[in-house]
Amino acid sequence: MREEIAYHEYDVLVIGAGGAGLRAAIESAENGLKTAVLGKSLLGKAHTVMAEGGVAAALGNLDPQDGWETHFYDTMRSGHFINDYRMAEVHAKESPDRVLELEYWGAVFDRTPDGKIMQRPFGAHTFRRLAHVGDRTGKELIRTLEQKILTVKVDIFQEITATKLFKDQDRIAGCIAYYREDGRLAVFTAKAVVIATGGWGKAYKVTSNSWESTGDGAALAFRAGAELADMEMVQFHPTGMTWPPGVRGILVTEGVRGEGGLLFNSEGERFMEKYDPVRKELSSRDVVARSIYKEVRAGRGTPHGGAWLDITHKGAAFVKRKLPGMYEQFMALADVDITKTRFEVAPTIHYTMGGLRVDAYTASTNVPGLFAAGECAAGLHGANRLGGNSLSDILVFGRRAGAGATEYAKNSAMPKIDNAEVQAEVERVLAPLSRSEGENPYRLHEDLQEIMAAHVGIERNGPELEKGLARLQELRERTANMRAPGSRQFNPGWHSVFDVQNMCLLGEAIVRGAIERKESRGAQWRTDFPDELEEQGKVNYVQQVTDKGIVVRPEPVPPMPAELAELFTRGVAPGLANAARKE
């Protein structure tokens, strides 16, 4: 039987409907281009909704000495200087405008006593910088973008999943996707494609990520020839829930520490004083996560293998006002009243700093016509992401990707997709439904998560990584033969087939990056190379799929121009140095 396929044509096709994707689509549509956005979920449900603490922007509402230089300085330092400085600069300069734009579109942030947007302190930010709405900032951000996009001319496709990107010669040509609702297929031809599909934290079991974070866009683009960078850099958020088992990994916002929460080990020691005497609980995430891990390893962990987090000293009214979501989450899911008692937290996989290698100004990848923004792209965060920088990332680079795609689409003709390639992909996509024998995708997902935790977790070493790579390659072969009984109608088993394939590919890239980077830096902690090495700080590890399989190569980190490099020579953050000079 010949498959009925719907065909669509767009100037700009955005894959991914989280913050970055919606912002990109708004940009290209407002520039008059025929735009579509595809999302795996319902509109407004993407992983962006889970961001809690805030959006980082040097508005200077509470600390007037803050400015883009200090935000840039904090971002580069926390990224351990393998970030693309150009992205960090653009991001620091443009974040305030993006936040104010949201306010103009209807976002309602918490206020200062004099009526400005309130900003909260966060780990490794020199100043109070995170604009927020209690502990539900991501929700406010995506809802605002959702409400905005409903007023501009964009075709929104909900609950649809892309499985393959097509090219016309070297340039991008579009994708094929299935509707989750009934499994029918659609081909989208587009002059420019923006990937905004988020991260791949679901490759790990203990994660704060929602089901969608399976790295689809990054994997599809990687297969289509796009380069990945910094894949070894996977962020452990220091504070995930530990108990009961069903909630293990669910995020406890950094806002708890930002608002004054303190960490203790089982002996009642405030251990962060030992690991980072200056910043203590508000040290960068890599440091706090590793510190908790070390305390547990030393036998000073809590009953379920974590640390105590305590905010009771701030009083019940304050906690309920500033952290209502956390209060509710612990009451409903763990029977714990965080206004009255300390609670357990442990590191959880939170964010993938690595991803598609992009141009800082246009968000273009090495594949002509293919752009990427948000968590699926690499470069801004380097070896460790600052809290609050992901929400500003998706706004700044979502817009830039939309603008970059607009420019590209305006200057190019509609590409052609090869029908034979479409037919081959249709067969591949439908095959799991008709296999009488095959692997269970849920089981393979569990196997993947077990391998990632065992061999490429928070603590890494060469032999374990090599073992992990061998096991992942074996697993990748098994993923070619998965079976999904049932019909094409909303069939989660069938959907999992493609998610698992994507995560296996990216999991392998994580291991390969971790093997190459023979040092410890930011999120990469290797016990066989425990120090940060100057030479390694000069390179990013870039990966590409070639005829010979995945090839990893070092690429020089772009060197900062003198006027930016100078910011790091004063011994203190620029805003503080300026203040000192004035005195």
Partner 1 sequence: MPEDITLSVFRGDKGGGDEVEYKVPMQTGMVVLDALHFIQAHDAPDLAVRWNCKAAHCGSCSAEINGSLKLLCKTRVDDYVGEVIHVRPMHTFPVIKDLVTDVSWNYDMLRQVPAFQPAIKAPFTLQQRDVDRIQEFRNCIECFLCQNVCHVLRDHSAQDRYWGPRLMIRFAELEMHPLDTGDRMELLKGAAGIGMCNITKCCTVVCPQGINITDNGIIPLKERVADVYWDPLGGLVRKMHK
Footprint on residues 238-277 left by partner 1 (CB under 8 A): 243-247, 250-251
Asked whether position 105 contacts partner 1 by CB under 8 A, the answer is yes
Place of tokens 């790579």: 469
Asked whether position 490 contacts partner 1 by CB under 8 A, the answer is yes
Q: Which stretch binds partner 1 (CB under 8 A): 115-123, 416-424, 451-459, 465-473?
A: 115-123
Asked whether position 450 contacts partner 1 by CB under 8 A, the answer is no
AA letter at 327: Y
Helices vs strands, H then E, count in the chain: 17, 18
Where in 165-204 is the site for partner 1 (CB under 8 A)? 181-182
Work out how close the CB of 475 gets to partner 1 at its nearest, in angstroms, rounded to a whole number: 17
Instruction: Please provide residue 91's backbone torsions phi and psi, each rounded to the nearest 5 degrees.
Output: -60, -45
Asked whether position 549 contacts partner 1 by CB under 8 A, the answer is no
Q: Which stretch binds partner 1 (CB under 8 A): 437-445, 501-509, 519-527, 568-576?
A: 437-445
CA dist 293 and 348 (Å) reads 11
From 80, 120, 237, 445, active-site residue: 237
Work out how close the CB of 281 gets to partner 1 at its nearest, in angstroms, rounded to a whole number: 23
Work out how close the CB of 46 gets to partner 1 at its nearest, in angstroms, rounded to a whole number: 8
Asked whether position 391 contacts partner 1 by CB under 8 A, the answer is no
Asked whether position 114 contacts partner 1 by CB under 8 A, the answer is yes
β-pairing verdict for 5-15 and 35-38? parallel
Please pick, from the candidates 8, 93, 143, 467, the single residue that binds partner 1 as defined by CB under 8 A.
143
Q: Which is nearer to partner 1, 50 or 378 (CB)?
A: 50
Residue 551, beta-bridge partner list: 544
β-pairing verdict for 355-356 and 228-229? antiparallel
Asked whether position 539 contacts partner 1 by CB under 8 A, the answer is no
Q: Which is nearer to partner 1, 158 or 312 (CB)?
A: 158
Please pick, from the candidates 100, 552, 557, 579, the single residue that binds partner 1 as defined by CB under 8 A.
100
Question: How many CB atoms are closer than 10 A to CB 574?
Answer: 22
What order of strands is seen across the sheet that includes strand 228-229? 355-356, 228-229, 539-546, 549-556
Where in 315-334 is the site for partner 1 (CB under 8 A)? 325, 328-329, 332-334
Contact 16, 39 (CB under 8 A): yes
Contact 242, 250 (CB under 8 A): no
CB contact burial 440-458 (16+ within 10 A = b; e otherwise): ebeebbebbbebbbebbbb
Q: Which stretch binds partner 1 (CB under 8 A): 64-72, 165-173, 216-224, 484-492?
A: 484-492
Asked whether position 550 contacts partner 1 by CB under 8 A, the answer is no
From 129, 180, 257, 488, active-site residue: 257
Asked whether position 491 contacts partner 1 by CB under 8 A, the answer is yes
| Closest to 358 (Cα-Cα) out of 391, 396, 410 | 396
Contact 497, 433 (CB under 8 A): no
CA dist 232 and 447 (Å) reads 20
Asked whether position 441 contacts partner 1 by CB under 8 A, the answer is yes
Binding characters for partner 1, 201-220, by CB under 8 A (x = yes): ---------xxx--------
CA contacts within 13 A on the Cβ side of 508: 23
Q: Which is nearer to partner 1, 244 or 530 (CB)?
A: 244
CA dist 57 and 52 (Å) reads 15
Asked whether position 64 contacts partner 1 by CB under 8 A, the answer is no
Q: Which is nearer to partner 1, 249 or 354 (CB)?
A: 249
Asked whether position 486 contacts partner 1 by CB under 8 A, the answer is yes
Residue 469: its H or E element: helix 462-478
Work out how close the CB of 125 gets to partner 1 at its nearest, in angstroms, rounded to a whole number: 20
Q: Which residues contact 202 (CB under 8 A, 6 or more apart)?
A: 209, 211, 212, 213, 214, 445, 499, 503
DSSP H helices, 386-440, are 389-410, 419-434
> Is 257 noted as a catalytic residue in this protein?
yes
Q: Which is nearer to partner 1, 115 or 268 (CB)?
A: 115
Contact 55, 99 (CB under 8 A): yes
Work out how close the CB of 146 gets to partner 1 at its nearest, in angstroms, rounded to a whole number: 8
Where in 493-512 is the site for partner 1 (CB under 8 A)? 493-494, 496
Q: Which is nearer to partner 1, 110 or 168 (CB)?
A: 110
Asked whether position 148 contacts partner 1 by CB under 8 A, the answer is yes
Angle, alpha carbons 547-419-431 (nearest 5°): 75
> Is 237 noted as a catalytic residue in this protein?
yes
Where in 14-43 is the site for partner 1 (CB under 8 A)? 41-43
Asked whether position 101 contacts partner 1 by CB under 8 A, the answer is yes
Question: Count of residues binding partner 1 (CB under 8 A)?
Answer: 71
Report the catalytic residues: 237, 257
